[in-house]
Amino acid sequence: MIKIAIIYIYNKFFKRGLQSRLTMQVHDELVFEVYKPETAVVKQIVGDLLRTALPLDAPMAVETKTGDNWLAAHQEYTKKQETEKSNSCFHLVFC
């Protein structure tokens, strides 16, 4: 599922002429290098395409986190996980 979403994301970024790029996938996590003025649109595109990559009976939960680097964004996500239960299948990191 995530591989299909990656293709859709790449195509949408290309069609929109975005400067932001997917840099890597680590398990259930996608890491992007995001041009700061594009942050909101990238979050919207990635969230929408991950949720709809495949038709599912159950809703897909997607969370996005930002940071100056992968560690900062990942620590924000980890802190949230410690304080509340989350059933997200994917989380995204924007650097």
Structural domains of the chain, count = 1
What does the pLDDT read at residue 94?
45
Q: What is the pLDDT of residues 35-86, one digit of tens each?
A: 889 999 999 999 999 989 888 888 888 888 888 877 887 776 656 555 555 4
Confidence at residue 26, expressed as pLDDT on a 0 to 100 scale: 83
Entry pTM: 0.76
Q: Which residues contact 50 (CB under 8 A, 6 or more apart)?
A: 2, 5, 60, 62, 90, 92
Interstrand relation of 29-33 and 90-94 (parallel, antiparallel or unpaired): parallel
Cβ atoms 92, 63 nearer than 8 A: yes
Residue among 6, 45, 27 nearest 90 (CA):
27
Q: Which domain does 47 fall in, by range?
A: 2-94
CATH number, domain containing residue 70? 3.30.70.370
